[in-house]
Amino acid sequence: MTETHVHILGIGGTFMGGIAAIAKAAGFRVTGSDLNVYPPMSTQLEALGVELIQGYGAEQLEPRPDVVVVGNALSRGMPVVEALLDSGIPYTSGPLWLAETVLRDRHVLAVAGTHGKTTTSSMLAWILEHAGLSPGFLIGGVPSNFEVTARLGEHPFFVIEADEYDTAFFDKRAKFVHYRPRTVILNNLEYDHADIYPDVAAIRRQFNQLLRTVPRAGRVIVNGADTELAMTLRDGCWTPCETFALLGEGEGVDLGSEAKGGAPSGAANLDWSARLVPGTSAARFSVVYKGATVAEVNWSLLGEHNVMNALAAIAGARHAGVTPERSAYALQEFRGVKRRMEVRGVVGEVTVYDDFAHHPTAIASTLRGLRARVNGARIIAVLETRSNTMKLGVHRDLLAPSLELADQSWFLTPKELGWDLQAAVAGLGTRARFASDIDHLVDALVREVRPGDQVLIMSNGGFGGLHDKFLARLHARNPLRAHPLRVNPL
């Protein structure tokens, strides 16, 4: 019997590339196409032996695949889409294919939220792996403990980064409504994805749709200091909830009697909290569950945002049967996620980082973590305003405040940006610098940097190969003082 042939449109994205890896492991013949595939997905797909087709021409549907999985980057009018609809070939979305083919009989642990999904999912998958449970996972980044974005794993557990972006051109619901999780982590909720959601209330409705799919025997683990999530729960939650937050963040928020079983609000009633050890930049903390210390974490990551991610992962793992103490032990060996404060190299005592931050909240959080690590060293932030929400200018008033901890901030100013970037960050004064293209940006950075500088490059894309071009130029300037370095990210 011949293998079932799955053809994936938009295979270069992290999610669809993960679908390809899982389909390959499940015994399917996998091919795919995209306009541009770059690392880490290009290397992952090459290692899998997946045949890649460049572009979206109609001819790729011959010979006829058994099913076509359509990524959400595809739209009506594309030749392959029109040919697919005319052909009668069965087609589906990535989330629905995953749900029906892989997740149907698994205990799904889904991690949702505007920020921290990738890191929290990676922590959770690693905790379960360390406990000997060999989970499957699909994550929107490359966890350094695994070096792949996805795997089929063993029954019953499957960890998934639960994205609220829409599913496909024929299904405008959020991806995560398809997953039917038993354990849900809600990290936070802010306005994002302005290209598909008119306001934060529209995103909140999608989160509530996710809650409607969680069984009463499941668990919802929610950031107890997030007011938008509190409003989401008040709109309806039928599953036991556990809250997490940092001690000293404030009094928390009232999640409502339905969500909390009638318990009063307040920080003292958090289920999970952390007590940070002073002077360690959050590298050491105690895990507190219902008022009692249950574990101690001493790890290489820094920053309160990572402590929040760790609390969520520890709580999620407990619902899968892993004790907090075992989880804390696993986190001591957690090596972070590629493109989350990943050190790409150190040349001439200049450290170059790669980070995925593109939302003002994430930018500010990343800078706080880096500042805690490097103290008074000069930080040069380099930002690409690439995300759809950023291009629409939704967060332009928050951009300058998010960069306050940087000593200099460099911006690539693409011609297609529909708003005045220089005016938006005028509050940074002379600390704001601009370049019209990648080559000019590299030239300017090479002239500017000096030994001891920390160069933080932030983009949710490839940034035109800036990292490698900049490091190559630094290496040419300092041939005897260059060396690669990999450290655990913030």
pLDDT tens profile 164-213: 999 999 999 999 999 999 999 999 998 777 778 888 899 999 999 999 99
pLDDT in tens, 342-384: 888 888 889 999 887 777 888 888 898 888 788 889 999 998 8
Question: Where residue 473 falls among pLDDT bands split at 50, 70, 90?
Answer: confident
End-to-end Cα, the chain, rounded Å: 49
Q: Are residues 176 and 325 in the same domain?
A: yes
**pLDDT at 2 > cutoff 80:** no
Specify the number of domains making up the chain: 3
Q: Say yes or no: 57 and 24 in one domain.
A: yes
Residue 366 lies in a domain: yes
pLDDT of residue 466: 86
Domain membership of residue 122 as a residue range? 105-331
* Contact present, 483 and 474 (Cβ < 8 Å): no
Residue 225: pLDDT over 60: yes
Residue 401, both tokens: 């405040």
In the prediction, which pLDDT does 10 show?
95
355: three-class secondary structure by DSSP: strand
Residue 204 confidence (pLDDT): 94
- For residue range 108-138, what is the model confidence (pLDDT) as tens digits? 999 999 888 999 999 999 999 999 999 999 9
pLDDT tens digits, 271-310? 999 999 888 878 899 999 999 999 999 998 878 889 999 9
Q: Please indicate, yes or no, whether residues 162 and 216 belong to a single structural domain of this protein.
A: yes
Return the amino acid letter for 81. V
Q: Does 422 reside within a domain?
A: yes
Q: Which residues pair with 384 in a beta bridge?
A: 412
**CATH code at position 381:** 3.90.190.20
In a domain, 315, yes or no: yes
Of the listed ranges 191-195, 215-219, 226-230, 367-371, the one predicted with least confidence? 191-195
**CATH classification at residue 68:** 3.40.50.720
CA gap 90, 96 in Å, rounded: 13
Residues 346 and 325 in one domain: no
Query: Are residue 430 and residue 476 in the same domain, yes or no?
Result: yes
* The domain boundary residue, chosen from 48, 64, 94: 94
Query: At a CB cut-off of 8 Å and minimum separation 6, what does 106 contact?
Result: 136, 155, 156, 157, 158
Residues 183 and 320 in one domain: yes
Closest by CA position to 214, among listed 316, 309, 110: 110
Q: Rounded to an integer, what distance in angstroms lies between the CA atom of residue 286 and that of residue 307?
A: 10
Does 490 fall in a domain?
no
346 and 396 housed in the same domain: yes
Evaluated on CA atoms 291, 296, 302, 307, the torsion sign reads: negative
Mean pLDDT of 57-77: 96
pLDDT given for residue 303 in this prediction: 81
- Three-state DSSP at 455 gives strand
Last residue of a domain, one of 26, 59, 94: 94
Distances (CA, A) of 344 to 31, 365, 435, 479: 31, 20, 22, 17
pLDDT, mean of residues 45-49 = 86
Write out the two tokens for 166.
């829409």
405 token code pair? 């901890």
Residue 98 has pLDDT above 90, yes or no: yes
| Lowest mean pLDDT segment, chosen from 41-45, 48-52, 82-86 | 41-45
326 and 355 in a single domain? The answer is: no
The residues facing 154 across adjacent strands are none
Average pLDDT over residues 327-345: 87
- pLDDT top residue among 227 and 141: 227
The tokens describing 12, both together, are 């270069």
- 313 pLDDT tier (thresholds 50, 70, 90): very high
3-class secondary structure, 159? strand
Confidence of residue 266 (pLDDT cuts 50, 70, 90): very low
Global pTM?
0.81
- What band does 480 get if pLDDT is binned at 50, 70 and 90? low
- Asked if 47 and 76 sit in the same domain, the reply is yes
**Cα 420 from chain centre:** 28
Inform me whether the pLDDT recorded for 260 exceeds 50. no
Name the residue with higher pLDDT: 458 or 251.
458
Within a domain: residue 285?
yes
Q: How high is the pLDDT of residue 343?
A: 85
Say if residue 318's pLDDT is above 90. Answer: yes
Average pLDDT over residues 219-223: 97
pLDDT of residue 424: 84
Bond prior to 414 in cis (omega within 30° of 0):
no
362 lies in the same domain as 324: no
Q: Do the domain assignments include residue 213?
A: yes
Whether pLDDT at 478 is above 80: no
pLDDT at position 4, please?
Answer: 95
Q: Which residues make Cβ contacts (< 8 Å) with residue 259, sequence separation at least 6?
A: 220, 222, 233, 234, 237, 241
Inform me whether the pLDDT recorded for 486 exceeds 50.
Answer: no
In a domain, 489, yes or no: no
pLDDT score recorded for residue 60: 96
pLDDT of residue 388: 65
* Average pLDDT estimate for 438-442: 89
- Cβ atoms < 10 Å from Cβ of 253: 22
How many alpha carbons lie under 13 Å from residue 379 in its C-beta half-sphere? Answer: 24
Domain-ending residue, one of 296, 331, 366: 331
**Mean of pLDDT over the chain:** 87
What is the rounded distance in angstroms from the CA atom of residue 220 to the CA atom of residue 233?
10
pLDDT at res. 36: 77
Q: For residue 282, give the CATH number of its domain.
A: 3.40.1190.10
Q: Are residues 281 and 368 in the same domain?
A: no
**For residue 487, is pLDDT > 70?**
no
* pLDDT at position 162: 95
Instruction: Name the pLDDT band for 259 (thresholds 50, 70, 90).
Output: very low
Query: Residues 315-320: what's their mean pLDDT?
Result: 98
- Is 100 a member of any domain? no
Report pLDDT for 320.
Answer: 97
Q: For residue 484, what pLDDT is reported?
A: 47
Do 162 and 258 lie in a common domain? yes
Q: What is the pLDDT of residue 268?
A: 53
